Structure 1
Amino acid sequence: MPADAQVKRDLPQSIVIPPIQGEMVHLRPATVEDLPCLDKLDAFYGASKITGKDAATERSMIQTWVRRSQAWEAGLAPGESGVGDPESRRTIAWAVVTDADHDDDGKTDASATDNVIGMIFLIDIDGWSRSARIQIVLGRDYRGRGYSRDAMPRVMTYGFASEPAGLGMHRIWVAVPEKNTRSISVYQSLGFVPSGTSRDALWDAENSKYQDLIVMDTLVDEYDPIRSLDAFGMHLIENNPGVQEALAAREHSVALRQNTEGGDAGVKKESKWSSAADAASNAKPVTDVHAVHSAESQSVEENHKKHEKSRLSAEEESNWPYGQSERKTSKDAWWRTLGRGRKRDTESEK
């Protein structure tokens, strides 16, 4: 193999970690100064159920990830152990920050931690295989509120987007303990599909027995940045990193699939994703999350009707794991059945 082929797959020596705007949260590069916030948030509560690791190990791992992320920003070598990482894998860490006031007491919910409610990571970033693992950790009181659903698709969009706008990943994956059914449901709703099982890979401390580790992943030509957000009633923010590239790639993928499937090669069929992409590209870029909420409150019903009509008319055009034969009627529309997941072969699944 030519030497330049290796170079082209190498990760850059340094990186500028971009801020990412969501509708409920925004993400900024995490620092070691943010680490004490996680303890204040009781972010490692129930770690064995969520990640399969004990709290002390989880805390140490996250501290290492943040330091690796800052090292990459500074252009330092990836190794922290003194022997380095033979695969030169990297890590990116963002602090998850919210300005929300859910209890309407006039104060930001997370004011005690400078608005930080958790962190989200791309870890094991492998330039050769173009693969990365995603993981999010939230404070105990901030779980189950939809923050993961807001942050994860936007990080994945950046991860999949071609360089230099994104990381240019081919695959993003997660590893979930089998008993963490809530996370499995969320990941399925984001487009992840089970790809393997590591038997008895984790210790279940609560029940004093081993449990399986479920590996789930999604590929760049499977991931849909529009649908992953729309599944939870959220919207693209056009000036986020990688969004324009993701929309262009989605349009190209849809066009290729339509031509391959024997449609009129000279006429591009209208699809829900190209329509959504056109709407996004013509929209005014959103930079203020409060403006997003104000605008959405006036148009969300109209947008849902338009999108639903588009979905029903072109369901067969998408390679999204949720759709096609699984949801043929409005009663069983994909957005009504999120979290059900696919039928599995194992008898233990319920």
Structure 2
Amino acid sequence: MTEINETLSMATDAQVKRDLPQSIVIPPITGEMVHLRPATIDDLPRLDELDAFYGASKITGKDAASERALMHTWVKRSQAWEAGQAPTESGVGDPESRRTIAWAVLTDADHDDDGFADAASTDNVIGMIFLIDIDGWSRSARIQIVLGKDYRGRGYSRDAMPRVMTYGFAPEPAGLGMHRIWVGVPEQNTRSVSVYQSLGFVPSGTSRDALWDAENNKYQDLIVMDTLVDEYDPIRSLDAFGMHLIEDNPGVKEALSAREHSIAIQQNKQTETGGQSQPQGYYASARPRSEAQPAQSKHDQAPQQETGAANTPHSADEESNWPYGQAERKPSKEAWWRTLGRGRKRDTEGE
């Protein structure tokens, strides 16, 4: 009987360890183009001012009204978790006790060079980014970003998403300790598929005819893409777009430490099985920058950095779980996003 009780106790402890915390302090996150802060109910009207639900059926496969209702629910769930409310107390709970985190996306950018921040009319808010369906038992979460109509295609999502993912994957308590982060993309949204691939997501399945394409009056497939904690590379996901780590962001140091540990384990296994030990990998040569160190533009970089892949810190035999080869990613570290979208407006965004 004693052994049975001990077994039950161990099972209960395992269950508790997989439960999400009763409350959470949502951390601010700093990017090079944007910064994130916890979203509030007061931010929701700004999404309408930004025309953030324009083209929703093409971007997410939902109509604008449904998308608006979801955003309102997600922000309320996020604030309920901050307040320590149980899902049943928040009024917008989930029977599986899944949680949501919502950040407002802000920028100080002045793309039209008129001397004023582009989003001054909305207090610099240009959209929101979410971790949705945060499941403590399976350690899984879904990520989604929504941007105002005039702020799509400028690189903002490419700055925000990998930083949120780094926090999501980082071990607790610095991060959420997720094992998997996934997205669902309508098949027509090829722009988003390309962006997610650059972030390290891989297609994992297709839900046939899962969405209604209102523009073409037909069904379309939903492409499911995901990445796992031992696959995700917080440096490469930013470097693919010429951006850099900001070491003071939540979970960055822990994510890098965990990644280096994973690489070391792989190298030890290769050594034990008689294989040749590989170089230390990307982390041996990559240099994450602190917030105080500005990113270099192409005019600031040394000439040898612009002469080709042979002079970049990425060698062909680096040890990495990155799902795409060197030839399939952008080796350039030029900060192309500094002028991307200047004077232009886009109707769609790689979300």
Q: Identify the TM-score tier after normalising by the shorter chain.
A: 0.7 to 0.9
**Counterpart residue type for residue 322 of structure 1:** Y
Q: Is the 8 A contact 1:251 1:273 kept in 2?
A: no
- SS of equivalent to 2:146: strand
TM-score, normalization: structure 1? Answer: 0.85
Name which of 47, 53, 59 aligns with 1:38. 47
Identity among equivalent pairs (%)? 73
Report the equivalent of 1:56: 65
Post-superposition Cα deviations, 1:63-85, rounded to whole Å, max 9, x if no partner, equal 00001000000001224785942
* Structure 1 residue ranges without an equivalent (≥5): 338-350
Question: How many aligned residue pairs are there?
Answer: 322
Matches within 5 A, 1:210-289: 210-262=219-271, 269-276=278-285, 279-280=287-288, 285-287=290-292
Report the equivalent of 1:334: 329
Partner Cα separation in structure 1 for residue 22 and residue 244 of structure 2: 33
**Counterpart residue type for residue 186 of structure 2:** P
TM-score, normalization: structure 2? Answer: 0.85
Q: Whose relative contact order is higher, 1 or 2, with alpha carbons under 8 Å and at least 6 apart? A: 2
**Counterpart residue type for residue 48 of structure 1:** S
1:312 deviates by 2.2
Report the equivalent of 1:140: 149
1:306 deviates by 8.9
**Counterpart residue type for residue 310 of structure 1:** P
1:286 deviates by 1.6
Name which of 310, 313, 316 aligns with 2:313. 310
- SS of equivalent to 1:310: coil
Name which of 288, 292, 295 aligns with 2:294. 292
**Counterpart residue type for residue 251 of structure 1:** E
Matched, 1:119 2:128: yes
Partner Cα separation in structure 2 for residue 37 and residue 308 of structure 1: 45
- SS of equivalent to 2:254: helix
Name which of 206, 209, 216 aligns with 1:207. 216
Q: Is the 8 A contact 1:226 1:276 kept in 2?
A: no
- SS of equivalent to 1:199: strand
Report the equivalent of 1:322: 324
**Counterpart residue type for residue 134 of structure 1:** I
Matched, 1:188 2:194: no
- SS of equivalent to 1:194: strand
1:272 deviates by 3.4
- SS of equivalent to 2:182: strand
Give the number of the structure whose residues are more often helix, by fraction: 1
1:336 deviates by 6.2
1:246 deviates by 1.0
Moved more, 176-185 or 246-255: 246-255
Q: Structure 1 residues 252 and 301 mapped into 2: Cα distance closer, same or farther (>3 Å)?
A: farther
- SS of equivalent to 1:42: coil
Matches within 5 A, 1:49-198: 49-79=58-88, 84-198=93-207
Q: Structure 1 residues 81 and 67 mapped into 2: Cα distance closer, same or farther (>3 Å)?
A: closer
Q: Structure 1 residues 11 and 294 mapped into 2: Cα distance closer, same or farther (>3 Å)?
A: same
1:252 deviates by 1.1
- SS of equivalent to 1:292: coil
